[in-house]
Structure 1
Amino acid sequence: MRPLLLTLLLLCPTTFAATLTLELPDGKHDFSTEQLLANPKAQDIDVPADVSYNRTMRYRAVPLAALLQSVNPGDHLQAVALDGFAAELPAAPLLEEKGARAWLAIEEPDKPWPKLGEGKPSAGPFYLVWTDPKAAGVGPEQWPFQVAIIRYLKPLAERFPALLPAKNAPESAQKGFAQFQKNCLACHRLNGAGDSQFGPDLNLPHNPTEYFAAGYLKQYIRDPQSLRHWPEARMKGFPADVISDRELDEILAYLKHMAGRKVKAGS
């Protein structure tokens, strides 16, 4: 069992309750499903083009800002899911009350959400969703589902110096590091650094820029199944409306740069 996993408390065969843990500057807080549904700011919201379900979904949800009152816009948060997915989240967008707005969707015991696929669970019991995400360029990695913990952490550069490009790295690699944090670090580690338990390390023992033939790495990121059909694969593609061609080139520039900076985290 992973130490960060959410504890599901079975109340009867047809209902359940779950607990969300918040580790914030003002301390640790645990909220049950019932407590969150009873929050005075809870309301029904419609989410068009939901990232996980690829259709409009209706949720009972609480504005995430209402749960993060001790958090400042300059802070850094991390949402950890049951499967080890660890989304790195700058606090500022999560605290916005206009434009792109973050919500904690709560799966109601008597209204279970659809399964994410055959043999898979739903996105519940807690799911970070957005209304008007395009207003702030919110990407799919900022929609963590099956959330167990949301916690305040120091910035990535302080926690994991092994992720940093060299000070004299090309501008494209520096920008690529920012894109890597936003789009890749939720699933992958690099140089052993990162909190995710979801996907493989992208620099140890080998960097993908070292073993993918020219052009194929871009194709793989855009549509993994187009190169290697694997029904159980968990990586979704990143179309151009999620990561632009320029941003994808920046990610590849960062990875190529880091292939020359292999180092185990903490060394």
Structure 2
Amino acid sequence: MSTLLRCLALLALGCTLPLYAADLRIDVGPQARVWTTQQLLNLPDARSVMIQADVAFHRTMSYRAVPLRALLPGLTRGIRLKFVANDGFSVDLAADTILNQAGAQAWLAIEDPQQPWPTLPGNKGDAGPFYVVWTNPSAAQVSSEQWPYQLARIERVQDVTTRFPATAPAASVPADSLVSHGYVVFQHTCFACHTLNGEGDARMGPDLNLPHNPTEYLSTDMLRAFIRDPQSLRRWPEGRMTGFPTQASLSDADLDAVLAYLKYMAQHKVDK
């Protein structure tokens, strides 16, 4: 076969193959399971799901998806799950949120290689191959950080304080204090992309306490503005940080609490 014919044959073969082969690892029970894209698409529970105000694409989106609970047999309240993405994003999610009976429902959206999703806005790459989306998220107070895309694995973990003690305020800090509340908010927002005191699962952004805490080099007003809109401080088209521009994503009270927590942790560095 000539070189030209060989190239044409390979090109024709490539056009008949899926664009990629993707696997999702789920390790929440006695044994881990790895699902392929095709296995998930072929599940009896798979259906078309319409998502209003999609967090990643900022518009209405339609996905082929399966109920997340169907992939997590034996899930009970009190368990914590870690969702890890290919881009370094990592977020913990309480089983109670997934098991919520008030109307919110988590779905695993599956990108069909024959019908790929569009590119994410803002030059942020692709959302596939797997993406956790929600219908009626407000019924369970689901934050924007709890929509992990580029998902690679789901695993059962201990709570954040047990796993990463250097991120927690001292036991002497009152549970009802602004600092303690800020630690909770920090876990739901910043910790999905950043580490603190060298601890955490995420690898997207820099550590927020080592070598310097942002409260040490930014005024409170500038830091507040940066969290609301990162591009307002540094105009960078390739910037990956997504801001929290509205009360719906991060209230002023919660933002104040995060800043109080960061100021506290600036005085409690653990250099690892």
- Is TM more than 0.5 here? yes
Does structure 2 conserve the Cα–Cα contact (< 8 Å) formed by 1:64 and 1:95? Answer: no
Aligned-partner Cα distance in 1 for 2:220–2:83: 34
For residue 52 of structure 2, what is the amino acid of its counterpart?
Answer: P
SS of corresponding position for 1:34: helix
Equivalent residue number for residue 241 of structure 1 = 248
For residue 241 of structure 2, what is the amino acid of its counterpart?
Answer: M
Equivalent residue number for residue 159 of structure 1 = 163
Equivalent residue number for residue 68 of structure 1 = 72
Equivalent residue number for residue 253 of structure 1 = 260
Cα pair distance change 1:139/1:230, threshold 3 Å = same
Give the superposition deviation at 1:38.
1.3
For structure 2, the 5+ residue unaligned runs are 1-13
Alignment pair present for 1:79 and 2:83: yes
Alignment pair present for 1:110 and 2:114: yes
Of 187, 202, 211 in structure 1, the residue corresponding to residue 217 of structure 2 is 211
Of 190, 195, 203 in structure 2, the residue corresponding to residue 189 of structure 1 is 195
SS of corresponding position for 2:237: coil
Of 37, 48, 52 in structure 2, the residue corresponding to residue 48 of structure 1 is 52
Cα pair distance change 1:12/1:95, threshold 3 Å = farther
Equivalent residue number for residue 31 of structure 1 = 35
Structure in which a larger fraction of residues adopt helix: 2
Q: Which ranges of 4 or more aligned residues in structure 1 deviate by more than 3 Å?
A: 10-15, 117-121
Equivalent residue number for residue 6 of structure 1 = none
SS of corresponding position for 1:128: strand
For structure 1, the 5+ residue unaligned runs are 1-9
Give the superposition deviation at 1:214.
3.2
Aligned-partner Cα distance in 2 for 1:183–1:118: 20
Aligned-partner Cα distance in 1 for 2:69–2:15: 29
For residue 261 of structure 1, what is the amino acid of its counterpart?
Answer: H
Which structure is larger by alpha-carbon Rg, 1 or 2?
2
Cα pair distance change 1:94/1:193, threshold 3 Å = same
For each residue in 1:83-134, what CA deviation from the matched residue of structure 2 results, as whole angstroms up to 9, or x when unmatched? Answer: 1111111111123355111110000121110011476532111000011111
Give the superposition deviation at 1:264.
3.3
| TM-score, length of structure 2 as denominator length | 0.90
SS of corresponding position for 2:113: coil
Alignment pair present for 1:133 and 2:137: yes
Equivalent residue number for residue 234 of structure 2 = 228
For residue 107 of structure 2, what is the amino acid of its counterpart?
Answer: W
Does structure 2 conserve the Cα–Cα contact (< 8 Å) formed by 1:103 and 1:129? Answer: yes
Q: Which moved more, 1:168-177 or 1:104-113?
A: 168-177
Structure in which a larger fraction of residues adopt strand: 1
Alignment pair present for 1:90 and 2:97: no
Of 251, 256, 262 in structure 1, the residue corresponding to residue 269 of structure 2 is 262
For each residue in 1:44-72, what CA deviation from the matched residue of structure 2 results, as whole angstroms up to 9, or x when unmatched? Answer: 11000001100000001011111111322
